[in-house]
Homo-oligomer: A and B are copies of this chain.
Amino acid sequence: MANLLEINGVFEADEDAYDGVKVQINEPMDSNHFVTMLRASISQWRIQGKRGVWIKLPIDHANLVNAAVKEGFWYHHAEPTYLMLVYWIPEIPHTIPANASHRVGIGALVMNDNGEVLVVQEKNGAFKGTGVWKMPTGVVDEGEDICVAAVREVQEETGIKAEFIELLAFRQSHKSFFGKSDLFFVCMLNPLSYKIQKQDSEIKGAQWMDMEEYAAQPFVKKHEMFNKIAEICLAKKKNKYNGFSKELMTSAFSAKKNYLYFNH
């Protein structure tokens, strides 16, 4: 049976820097034929001294998942459109790297020249019903810079344009979401516009509020973490706090530029 993936009955595979091979299944396959080819391929890779075997299986080919698992593959990670399966050829314990472990969120302290901060009330979520005015928050997308996410969330929730100034603090928490860990970065932003146009589906209210009034809310005072963050924000307002600012730098192993955040 002819198959574009196939060369002499063995899967065509890309090699990685760790003696691994990676196969991407791009066309429909019968599961019996898949198993035959998989066994022949692994035999050959074993002789070649290969170690990890990765199969990227688009969701359209979910008919092959069970066959791969029966051959000893396990799940590495999944995204909406595909499942990544992995197998380890040598007799020694595997050194397959772990899956992504953290979600990343931001909170944005947007302070204007009058010492007021931009605050919102949310319609849903954990703050629903608390009546607390909080800073805009949101999730950092895969591939998105923290400083960019903070600006985006502020604009989405309140219509305010702003620029990233400094990272004030961050919190790490665990088991927050399907057992994953969470990093939450408090960013200070400088507003570039002043007229609020709130997003209606998620945001119940948005306003500029005196920093001191924000910090004095009973909900903020009552919770150790919120209270400390409010203290940091008050110190920042008085120019008595230095966070980390950002600088774009070339990375060592590619031409890509990444942000380094540090105390300038």
Measured CB to CB, the residues of A under 8 A from B are: 18, 59, 62-63, 65-66, 69-70, 74-84, 97-104, 124, 126, 139-146, 168-175, 177-181, 183, 219, 223-226, 228-229, 232, 241-244, 247, 249-253, 256, 258-263
CB-defined contacts of A252 to chain B, threshold 8 Å: 126, 219, 223, 225-226
Please state if B103 and A101 are interface contacts (CB–CB under 8 Å): yes
Please state if A99 and B100 are interface contacts (CB–CB under 8 Å): yes
In the assembled complex, the CB of A256 is this many whole angstroms from the nearest CB of chain B, namely 7
Would A171 and B124 be within 8 Å (CB), given that A100-B101, A103-B98, A228-B247 are in contact?
no
Can you give 30 contacting A-B residue pairs, CB < 8 Å? A18-B124, A62-B65, A62-B70, A74-B80, A76-B78, A77-B77, A78-B99, A97-B139, A99-B100, A101-B102, A101-B142, A101-B143, A102-B142, A102-B183, A142-B174, A142-B180, A143-B175, A143-B181, A146-B172, A169-B261, A170-B261, A171-B258, A172-B259, A174-B256, A183-B183, A223-B251, A225-B251, A232-B262, A242-B263, A243-B263
Q: How far is the CA of A249 from the CA of B226 in the complex (A)?
A: 10
Please state if A59 and B69 are interface contacts (CB–CB under 8 Å): yes
